[in-house]
Structure 1
Amino acid sequence: MNRHRPSSRPWPTTRYRLATGDRTRAVTAGIDGTLAGMDAADWAAREALRRGVPLRLLHVAADPDHQPRIRRVGPADRARGVLDRAAITLSYVHPALRIHAQQPSGPTVAALLAAAAEADALVLGSRGPAGFGGFLLGSVAAAVAERADRPVVLVRAGECPEDAHVPDADGRPSRTTPYRPVVLALDLPLPGEELIAHAFDAAAVRGAPLHVVHVWTMPPLDAYAPGQAVPDVLAEREEDARRELAAALLPWRRAYPATRVVERVRFGRTGHHLLKAATGASLLVVGRRVQTGPRLGRTAHSAVRHVACPIAVVPHN
């Protein structure tokens, strides 16, 4: 965040408040006092501005019953200091943003899950890069992403505002050029309305195109008719997938007529095609089926390991 901080002007008057029981729409950012956490909070601030909702900053104070007793500064005081610094910094960088600060105590995962249930999205940072530019996901972020009732957005360390925009005419990073595409990974035949809704909404608030990627694999052996050539079976399966995808997206295209939608049907490994599609994207949206229990599916897990852009993990039925 220090790359955004002007050095020649005084801090503005503090304009945030400690929120209790506020259930208004908001984007929530969980912060931990690290630079990576502030990168995620700044992304959350920009998302809140795009959506016209407040930003809710959350820092969990450790349970004092589990802390050593010989300390002059308690966990709540340290949490309050983290919230103060984050809220003041973000209110300076984003003066039009409404910022609410919350300081719950107790188990961190439980507090974040409770906050996620009341938010449009919960935004968390990564510990650093992993894989091919993906995320090194901490245990807290992983546990929350696996269990949350609402979308969880994972933002890698070092994410900058310019990363969401296409370069300018000279090829330089820009904050004023159009947004890069939003990419949606969609499974069929049960795509999940919550997942599609989040992707279309994310594209709409950015004025960005939405690229929908469906990856299919080899049909089972019983799909082959006697004497039918393998290429014919594959061509038939691909055409079926294109029809299914078009049918699933048709009502959403009508609901979001201003959003340009690009449908991509690919054969092969999902992780490979998602990595290609998400290269140069502003956001990747992946699903997590609630019925499978508290875990990330194969697609979401692969995306977290390898994709560099922010990833929204959306629970759906």
Structure 2
Amino acid sequence: MTGVEGATGCETAGCVTAGVGGGPGSLAAADWAAREALSRGTVLRLVHAWDQPSAVLADAVAGVVPPPDRDRSAALLAAARDTLARRYPGLTVTTESRCGPLAAALTGAGADGGLLVLGSRGSGRATGLLLGSLARAAVARSGRPVVLVRPGDDEDRTGQGDVVVGVGPAGPDDTVLGFAFDAASRRTAPLRVVHGDDPAGRTRQRLTEALRAWQDKYPDVRVARQPVVGTAAAHLVDAARDACLLVVGRTGRRPALATHIGPVTDAVLQHATAPVAVVPHG
């Protein structure tokens, strides 16, 4: 069972949760999450998860006697909180330290929030995401949207580039489209819809109707459609090359130990050079 140390919880419904690990990917993710929380007018919750047995074993092998893991966790969170508080004075930041299996701890922490933000192991915007096992498991299991951010994506790109959303041959999903429209509206960015079709053209008609409804709700968002033929992932990666955010869907509920995220989502996460939001639906 996952333990919680010093938890404050989400003080505002729909808060943004960021996983903090100390590496450049997690620092970029925390900064991205801070700007996202400000744009949503909500709380940023920083979470550090540590798996005590593996940490103790690693220290024993290295011949090191460290301070208790909870102390290291608290220090890491305090440093991240102080940095973001200085950088974003109007932001409310809370911290939470969890002991237990890492993927389960982070997924659980994001369950009562609106968004979970994690860092990748990538080396910059010139390359795709290097998706570690922790991030992959969180994407596969989370019931909330998960955003993956690489090192180098901690700059404010508001107003720079499109928000890109992918719609597969199965047709549009309102959960995914709603997330994409909201993201584009808050960033004052155009929304580019990359979509395939079925032989009878039904997907295209359904998409037209769905977009009309969302444009009525977000009249400030300019929408461009990009029909494609062929491998969906390759088109999405190419379309999002200069995007500020790429949004893809993930269908179905996943069991607690699932790691499968689907071939299109997997390829996008491996090769996209923009932050990627994976939105569960269905």
Rounded Cα–Cα distance in structure 1 between residues aligned with 2:124 and 2:188: 30
Corresponding position of 1:11:
none
Question: Which deviates the most, 188-197 or 283-292?
Answer: 188-197
- CA root-mean-square deviation: 2.3
Q: Which structure has the larger Rg?
A: 1
Rounded Cα–Cα distance in structure 1 between residues aligned with 2:167 and 2:109: 27
Does the 8 Å CA contact 1:130/1:305 hold for their aligned counterparts? no
Count of aligned residue pairs for this structure pair: 268
User: Normalising to structure 1: TM-score of the pair?
Assistant: 0.78
- Corresponding position: 1:296 with 2:261: yes
Corresponding position of 1:90:
84
SS of the equivalent of 1:161 reads coil
The Cα shift of 1:160 comes to 3.3
Corresponding position of 2:56:
67
The Cα shift of 1:279 comes to 1.2
Superposition pairs for residues 217-296 of structure 1, below 5 Å? 219=199, 237=200, 240-291=202-253, 294=258, 295-296=260-261
Corresponding position of 1:309:
274
Corresponding position of 2:3:
none
Corresponding position of 1:47:
36
Superposition pairs for residues 1-317 of structure 1, below 5 Å? 19-22=7-10, 24=12, 25-63=14-52, 67-68=56-57, 71-129=65-123, 133-162=127-156, 164-165=157-158, 178-216=159-197, 219=199, 237=200, 240-291=202-253, 294=258, 295-317=260-282
The Cα shift of 1:95 comes to 1.1
Rounded Cα–Cα distance in structure 1 between residues aligned with 2:176 and 2:114: 13
Does the 8 Å CA contact 1:209/1:262 hold for their aligned counterparts? yes
Runs (5+) with no aligned partner, structure 2:
1-5
The letter for the 2-side match of 1:94 is Y
The Cα shift of 1:129 comes to 4.1
Quickly say closer, same or farther: Cα 1:80–1:97, change in 2 above 3 A.
Answer: same
The Cα shift of 1:130 comes to 9.1
SS of the equivalent of 1:140 reads helix
Rounded Cα–Cα distance in structure 2 between residues aligned with 1:313 and 1:34: 22
Rounded Cα–Cα distance in structure 2 between residues aligned with 1:39 and 1:130: 10
Give identity over the alignment, percent. Answer: 41
The Cα shift of 1:190 comes to 4.1
Divergent runs of 4+, >6 A: none
The Cα shift of 1:103 comes to 0.7
The letter for the 1-side match of 2:207 is L
The Cα shift of 1:64 comes to 5.6
The Cα shift of 1:66 comes to 6.8
Rounded Cα–Cα distance in structure 1 between residues aligned with 2:261 and 2:248: 10
The letter for the 1-side match of 2:274 is C
The letter for the 2-side match of 1:257 is P
The Cα shift of 1:107 comes to 1.3
Rounded Cα–Cα distance in structure 1 between residues aligned with 2:172 and 2:206: 10
Does the 8 Å CA contact 1:131/1:305 hold for their aligned counterparts? no
